[in-house]
Amino acid sequence: MPDNQPATPDSAGVDRTATGAIADKAQTTTPAATTPQTTTTTEATSPPSEDKSLVNQTEKSLANQAPPAAGDGAPDAYEAFNVPEGYILDEETAKEAGGIFKTMNLTQTQAQKLVDFYVAKTNDTLNQPYEAWRQTQQKWVQEVKNDPFMGPRLNHVTSTISKAIDVVAKNNPALAEGFRSVMDFTGAGNNPHFIRMFYEMASLITEGGHVAGRGPSPVGQQAPGQGVPTAARAMYPNLP
C-alpha cells in the first residue's frame, strides 16, 4: 500500500494511516494548486480634485473656498469716497453705506465702485427733468419760427412785446427785469401761445406808428369860388 495514502483522524482526533500509525504530516501535505495569474490593463483616470466638491468639479464650493488673505477685506474705517466735482455725497448716506459695505467685507476699491455706480445713476435721475425741459424749449422755438404769422415777423413781434413791458413797468424797472427773468427761467418766453397772446395785448398798449398822408384834398386844389360848395351844400350834399 502506498505510504502516501490519506490519513484519517481517530476518535481522539489524531491523524493515523490505514495501518494505524500516526500520520506524518510532512508527507501528507500536498501543495496547494496554483492558479496562473492574469494581468489586466485599465486606462488611468485622473482622481477628482481634492479642493473641489464632487458635484461641481469646475468651481469650489462655498464651504471649501480659501479665506481672504490678510488685508483683502473691509478696512477698519473707509476713507472718504471720491465723487465728481460739484457733487456732494450726503454724510449720513455715506456713513450708512459704509456700514453695509463692511458687512459685505468689501475693500476700499470695491466700495468705491459701488459709490461710482450710485453717483452715476443719481445724476441720470436728476438730469431727466432738465433734459425734458430743454427738449420742450427746442420744440416751442421751432414752432414759433415755423408759424406762418410770427415766423416771418419774429423781430417785430419780440420788439413789440419788449416795448409793452417797458411801458407797463416804466415806473418800476425792477418789475420789468424780474418779469423777463421769469420768462427765461420758466421757458414761457418760448411758448408759441404765450408769445402770440402777449403780442396781441402789447399791440393795444404800445404807441402807434407813423401814418402816411395821401396827398392834398381835391377841393383845396380849386380856385376860390370855383366849385367850392357852400356850407349848407357841404353839410347836406343831397338836398335839391
pLDDT tens digit string along 178-225?
A: 999 999 999 999 999 999 999 999 998 876 666 666 666 565 566 665
* Angle between helical axes of 192-205 and 154-168 (0-180°, round to 10): 60
Write out the residue range of the structural domain in which residue 89 sits. 71-134
Is residue 50 included in any domain, yes or no? no
The predicted structure's pLDDT at residue 71: 54
Mean pLDDT of 70-82: 81
Contacts of 121 (CB under 8 A, 6+ apart): none
Is residue 113 included in any domain, yes or no? yes
Is residue 232 included in any domain, yes or no? no
**Could you tell me if 130 and 152 lie in one domain?**
no
Is residue 63 included in any domain, yes or no? no
**Could you tell me if 168 and 191 lie in one domain?**
yes
The three cell numbers of residue 44 are 488611468
Provide the number of structural domains found in the chain: 2
**Could you tell me if 155 and 127 lie in one domain?**
no
Range in 30-44, 73-87, 144-158, 195-209 with the lowest mean pLDDT? 30-44
Is residue 224 included in any domain, yes or no? no
Q: Measuring CA to CA, which residue among 133, 107, 192 is closest to residue 157?
A: 192
Gap between the terminal Cα atoms of the chain: 196
Helix (H) or strand (E) holding 8: strand 8-9
Mean pLDDT of 110-114: 92
Tell me, what amino acid is at 65?
Q
Q: Measuring CA to CA, which residue among 95, 97, 130 is closest to residue 113?
A: 97
Is residue 183 included in any domain, yes or no? yes
Name the DSSP class of 66.
Answer: P
Mean pLDDT of 105-132: 90
pTM attached to this predicted model: 0.46
Higher pLDDT, residue 86 or 158: 158
